[in-house]
Amino acid sequence: MSQISSVDNRTLSALFDSESEASRAVDRLNQAGITTARIVPGYESDTPVQDRSQHHQGFFAALADFFFPDEDRYSYAEGLSRGGYLVVVDNLAASQHDVALDILDDEGSIDLDEREESWRSEGWSGYSADAVSSYTTESASAGGISGTYGGSNTAQASSRTLEEGGSEAIPVVDERLVVGKRDVNLGRVRVRSYVREEPVSADVNLHNENVTIERRSVDRPLGATDNAFTDRVIEAEQHAEEAVIAKEARVVEEISLRKEGTDRTETVSDTVRKTEVEIEDDRSVDIDQSRNRI
């Protein structure tokens, strides 16, 4: 997935293998209140293509309006030429960024880095400045864009002699470095809580009070304290302690996720091209001086 950011808005882009996955992602984005998503369809013919250079070139040109970095634009063009579908979300508010990112991930957007490795194993040469520059070099014979798919191109200088009254201009061009940004998914941290039961045991001391009846034979004279010939009742209650189980839930630990953003400054280096003009004037004398000498 790639992200292009500016001061006032953000753009998320994700490549999908099928139209159904891309459409499902757009539907979910719309349901979430994100209505700026659009789909760029890829090569839709059922006829296998042996040489995708022309298709790749066309898709690369079609993606110019999205202001992707050339590296992402080149990879997306390759994916589209292989029948993929590109979902682009424009003008994304900062509060909607994570929601849109999760939806695109959940609906099966491909990992572009992994897919590029797979393409390279099939012979795809990948992005290079020469490959991109070949798309902008005009072919004198075809009158259009020329270049080798994934390769380099050397422009042939042409010479033309002006006739009287004619004129021609050579544009002086300075190529400028345009630096974009993309969001690289480095993985996800997910904390899930669930409940499980485990057996526990505990020892407890219990006290019992037992009542026993003793009956013994005696033979003695009746005493004054024997309270003979009166009704009497003697009672004793038998008690026993039993274990009572109660449960108390206590919080013993807290696990939380905190997402923080940091900014860093990174210096990127590349080469830019400039048109240099050499003027050769091999005229020995001007016309007026020549006339004065005659």
pLDDT one-digit tens code per residue, 11-53: 888 889 888 898 999 999 999 898 888 888 887 766 555 556 6
Please report the beta strands in 93-147, taking only residues with DSSP state E, as ranges in sequence order.
Answer: 137-138, 145-146
Q: What is the pLDDT of residue 149?
A: 35
Q: End-to-end CA distance of the chain: give it in Å, rounded.
A: 77
d(CA 173, CA 159): 19
Please choose, from the candidates 31, 27, 30, the residue with its C-alpha nearest in 3D space to the C-alpha of residue 16. 27
User: CB of 32 within 8 A of CB of 115?
Assistant: no
- Please report the pLDDT score of residue 242 as a whole number: 92
Give the whole-angstrom CA distance, residue 31 versus residue 95.
15
d(CA 124, CA 147): 15
DSSP 8-state class, residue 98: H
How do strand 208-209 and strand 145-146 relate by DSSP bridges? unpaired
Note the pTM of the prediction, 2 decimals: 0.46
- Looking at the predicted structure, is the pLDDT value of residue 269 above 70? yes
